[in-house]
Structure 1
Amino acid sequence: MNTTERISKWTYYLLILPIALVFCGWQGWAWWNWVISPTTPTNLAETVGETIQLNIPSGTSTQQIGKDLRSSGLIHSTLAWKIWASWLTVRNPEGAFKAGTYKLSTRESLPAIADDIWQGQVMRLSFTVPEGWSRWDMAKYFDAQGYFSEEEFIKAISQIPKDRYPWLPDGIEHLEGFLYPDTYELASDRVTPQQVITLMLNRFQGVALPLYQQQKDKTTLSLLEWVTLSSIVEKEAVLAEERDRIAGVFSGRLADGMKLEADPTVEYALGIRQTPDKPLTNKQIQITSPYNTYRYPGLPPTPIASPGLSSLKATLSPEKTDYRYFVARYDGTHLFTKTLEEHKAAVNAIRQQRKALKNKPE
């Protein structure tokens, strides 16, 4: 081969090599972009809009996670998953993919999905327990949400974890009143009565308990008495501006040795809720129950609901008042009186008003 032929051959190679490199690079980029890009969901997983809920049980291998993602339509290639998983392991040898239930978007790329599972960004649930709910209200709520049954919750709150919460009062039979009302969030794979109870006791310990500890030298109430009286105030007070006064009425009655005569304690004992059209009857008020504050003096044996922070504060610093009675007006407000005679007159007047409204023609 002469020199001219060699030059022509090398010229050909020099011309074709860049084209080949560009072509291979483009093909590689196209393939990689395809395998790591977002994909379209299949019908092999539970799909909500553009998200897929995927459960990864504890002990699932990296290879199996890739297969599950592929069959769910979240990634294109298990090979690409294996490559990316290896890269994550090299970058962070101490890390690992984490078990749990994930809500993954079909618009996420493979690296984004991998990062979610690597970091344990599991699907989370939110639940709200309003102020004034009893343990029975909570049990029905959690059951309706599908978290666990009423029976499971009631059984769980009858186990008093004094080893972890030594401040809990001695001798209580359940955790009524100490399950702090608030909005909570927890991992979807940890929805058990114990997990929920732990969250709520921790919140009580962090929010309510310090309030009592800071002011316990200024009150004669024990922790149990404080929460119990606060729960009654919570159930009676509809308007925030009346809360301190209602707490003052009950505190005054206790100081004077009077019975509390609080309707919510009777409702709690009976497991009912009175309404304007179906108030408590005289027979109901006479039931034999330690929770019946019409019949027995002092506080009931346990709280009757979960009091909020406002009621807890009001019970520690009640309004100083001569009022010893109040009656609901059916619009959320109360009429406060000082003597039994005034109270009877107020009750009669409000009942007559209610009767007149019911008989008023449309």
Structure 2
Amino acid sequence: MSFKEKILADLAIATQERQRKREEWHQQDLSMDKNAKIDKVVVGETLEVESTKFVSKGIPENAEELEPGFPKDNVENNISKVNSEAHSESSALFHDQKEIVENSLEETKELPNLKEFGKTTLPTNDELAVWTTQQVESVNRNLDSDIEKIGVKEMSRESRRKANRLAAKISTVFVSLLVLVILSGGFFTYRYVTSAIGPLDSQATDYIQVEIPSGSGNKLIGNILKEHGVIKDSRVFNFYTKFKNYSNFQSGFYNFQKSMSLDDIAKYLQQGGTAEPQKPVLGKIAIPEGYTLKQIAQAVALNANTEEKGDNTPYTAEEFMSTVQDESFIAEMVQKYPKLLGSLPEASAVKYRLEGYLFPATYDYYEGTTINDIIDQMLAAMDTNLAPYYEKITTNGMTVNQVLSLASLVEKEGATDDDRKMIASVFYNRWNIGQPLQSNIAILYAMDKLGEKTTLAEDAAIDTSINSPYNIYLNTGLMPGPVDSPGLSALVATINPANTKYYYFVADVTTGAVYFAETYEEHSANVEKYVNSKLQ
């Protein structure tokens, strides 16, 4: 129930109670002593401003005013009784109504003046109805006004609260969306750039031939590669190559693959393309300097174009070893490269006739390339690298087989170009006076251990009495053939050695530095100092 409804309900109850009291007073008048000779007593009530005293209207205030013969005591008692009861009940009723009205409508000025109203004769029902109507209208007006004011204030506060809550929600949603957009943008940008840096298709095996014009910069190259479907985004290529400081890209024809990353492509571009279109390269075979044929056979089976161990070439080590020992193939190669293979040793004199004749380098293979083609490329590379020196080799009174044999020792014994030239001079000095060359490299080859890891102690304790044509501790001069494939540095050092009087050399087992000596005593001191003392 609202406050307004409660006020109206209380007024209605008070009015009903007033009517009930009027009826009780009237019944008391009728039941008064019949001998009082009072036909009718009109009981009135007057509300005085100062004392709120109730006064019965029409009843004398003292017994002297009564008609003669009227029982004075009885009248006085009845008057006192009626006045007392009526005054008490009426005052209580009035105060109840007054308290209700004054408490609820304290600020109302439009209500009827009850005190003035109470000075008059007790209102009739019509007058009471008019007063009640005025009272209700006044209450309604004041209540409506208060409700409107309170409602406006409450609505204003509630509106502000709702507006603040709405603003807070909007701000939260906006900030959340903004953060989400930033994070999403950063995430997708990162994913996009990462995918653009990596291979476009890691499973792709086909080749895409692209020509890079002369003078092309990173931006133009990126656009060309994007147009040919080699890369995902030309802008990423441009920024990435500049960030990684890739430069000096070469022009020419290239065979790209979608499985290549931006790093692979950049390095490929730095190598340079070909002047004419070439068949796509399926893979590469890398042969390091100093490898034996058995080691080369293992390298041939591995694709050096990737770092994945499972990425093999279409060739096997067994196929390779079988081909390098095939006499019909060797004869074909002798005819093709007469200067290189003209002094090739007989099969009975060496372990492998083509040992040392395959030039160490990186070789491409293509679709349809056979193992014969691979070996042919290696022989062709050795022939090409020795071509400038064939005449000098002949002038020096040596054969290609001798140069390759000595160079195979120089390759393993020396680490730098200067060391190799000095070591070559030592071998020549010994050879010229008929002194054994005494190299452990040849002994290890005879033992089939060259290329395997050996400790310093094992190398120092090597068996120099082994019965083999490769034992150059017992036999003077060179071995019957090379023991490994020498690189260009060792070949040049052998063809153009240093001019020294050294007959001995030893390498420090800890630093690798080579120390040379002219006499055996000096050499023995070096061995003790740089080898034996450190082994102990």
Both proteins in one fold, TM over 0.5:
yes
The structure where helix makes up a greater share of residues is 2
Contact 1:248 1:318 in 2 (8 A): yes
Runs of at least 5 residues in structure 2 that lack an aligned partner in the other structure: 1-198, 208-254, 260-276, 304-311, 348-352
Structure 1: distance between partners of 2:283 and 2:382: 20
Alpha carbons of structure 1 residues 203 and 235: separation in structure 2 relative to 1, 3 Å: same
Contact 1:179 1:197 in 2 (8 A): yes
Match of residue 317, structure 1, among 479, 489, 496: 496
Q: Which residue of 2 aligns with 1:61?
A: none
Letter in 1 for 2:516: F
Question: What SS is found at the alignment partner of 1:284?
Answer: coil
Match of residue 133, structure 1, among 291, 296, 312: 291
Alpha carbons of structure 1 residues 339 and 274: separation in structure 2 relative to 1, 3 Å: farther
Structure 1: distance between partners of 2:390 and 2:518: 29
Residue 293 (structure 1) aligned with residue 472 (structure 2): yes
Question: What SS is found at the alignment partner of 2:470?
Answer: coil
Q: Which residue of 2 aligns with 1:142?
A: 300
Contact 1:239 1:333 in 2 (8 A): no
Match of residue 206, structure 1, among 365, 384, 387: 384
Q: CA deviation at 1:51?
A: 4.8
Structure 2: distance between partners of 1:351 and 1:217: 39
Structure 1: distance between partners of 2:204 and 2:501: 62
Structure 1: distance between partners of 2:415 and 2:425: 15
Residue 162 (structure 1) aligned with residue 334 (structure 2): yes
Letter in 2 for 1:320: N
Letter in 2 for 1:256: I
Alpha carbons of structure 1 residues 341 and 120: separation in structure 2 relative to 1, 3 Å: closer
Question: What SS is found at the alignment partner of 1:335?
Answer: strand
> Equivalences for 1:220-299 in 2 at 5 Å?
220-272=397-449, 273=452, 275-280=454-459, 282=461, 284-299=463-478
Q: Which residue of 2 aligns with 1:124?
A: 282
Letter in 1 for 2:469: P
Q: CA deviation at 1:334?
A: 1.2
Alpha carbons of structure 1 residues 253 and 196: separation in structure 2 relative to 1, 3 Å: same
Contact 1:239 1:332 in 2 (8 A): no
Contact 2:425 2:500 in 1 (8 A): yes
Question: What SS is found at the alignment partner of 2:534?
Answer: helix
Contact 2:285 2:302 in 1 (8 A): no
Contact 1:265 1:304 in 2 (8 A): yes
Structure 2: distance between partners of 1:307 and 1:261: 19
Identical amino acids, percent of aligned pairs: 30
Alpha carbons of structure 1 residues 164 and 245: separation in structure 2 relative to 1, 3 Å: same
Q: CA deviation at 1:120?
A: 7.5
Alpha carbons of structure 1 residues 342 and 257: separation in structure 2 relative to 1, 3 Å: same
Structure 2: distance between partners of 1:296 and 1:187: 45
For the pair shown, the structure with the greater C-alpha radius of gyration is 2
Contact 2:204 2:257 in 1 (8 A): yes
Q: Which residue of 1 aligns with 2:157?
A: none
Contact 1:135 1:176 in 2 (8 A): yes
Render the CA deviation track for 1:280-315: whole Å, top value 9, x for unaligned.
355622111111111211111110111111211111
Contact 1:53 1:103 in 2 (8 A): no
Question: What SS is found at the alignment partner of 1:332?
Answer: coil
Render the CA deviation track for 1:237-259: whole Å, top value 9, x for unaligned.
11222111001000110001100
Q: Which residue of 2 aligns with 1:73?
A: none
Structure 2: distance between partners of 1:104 and 1:222: 45
Letter in 1 for 2:431: L
Letter in 1 for 2:301: D
Contact 1:253 1:259 in 2 (8 A): yes
Residue 53 (structure 1) aligned with residue 205 (structure 2): yes
Question: What SS is found at the alignment partner of 1:216?
Answer: helix
Letter in 2 for 1:143: A
Letter in 2 for 1:349: K
Structure 2: distance between partners of 1:348 and 1:231: 27
Q: CA RMSD in A?
A: 2.8
Residue 194 (structure 1) aligned with residue 352 (structure 2): no
> Equivalences for 1:97-108 in 2 at 5 Å?
105=258
Question: What SS is found at the alignment partner of 1:279?
Answer: helix
Structure 2: distance between partners of 1:222 and 1:257: 18
Q: CA deviation at 1:277?
A: 3.4
Structure 2: distance between partners of 1:104 and 1:129: 24
Structure 1: distance between partners of 2:389 and 2:278: 35
Alpha carbons of structure 1 residues 217 and 205: separation in structure 2 relative to 1, 3 Å: closer
Q: Could you list the runs of 4 or more consecutive aligned residues of structure 1 that deviate by over 6 angstroms after TM superposition?
A: none
Q: CA deviation at 1:170?
A: 4.1
Moved more, 155-164 or 223-232: 155-164
Render the CA deviation track for 1:204-259: whole Å, top value 9, x for unaligned.
1212133222x134412111111111111111111222111001000110001100
Structure 2: distance between partners of 1:53 and 1:211: 41
Residue 307 (structure 1) aligned with residue 486 (structure 2): yes
Q: Which residue of 2 aligns with 1:349?
A: 529
Structure 2: distance between partners of 1:241 and 1:121: 40
Render the CA deviation track for 1:11-48: whole Å, top value 9, x for unaligned.
xxxxxxxxxxxxxxxxxxxxxxxxxxxxxxxxxxxx98
Letter in 2 for 1:210: P
TM-score (norm 1): 0.63
Structure 2: distance between partners of 1:342 and 1:49: 64
Structure 2: distance between partners of 1:51 and 1:132: 35
Alpha carbons of structure 1 residues 140 and 50: separation in structure 2 relative to 1, 3 Å: closer
Question: What SS is found at the alignment partner of 2:528?
Answer: helix
Contact 1:247 1:315 in 2 (8 A): yes
Contact 1:103 1:123 in 2 (8 A): no
Structure 2: distance between partners of 1:230 and 1:251: 11
Letter in 2 for 1:175: L
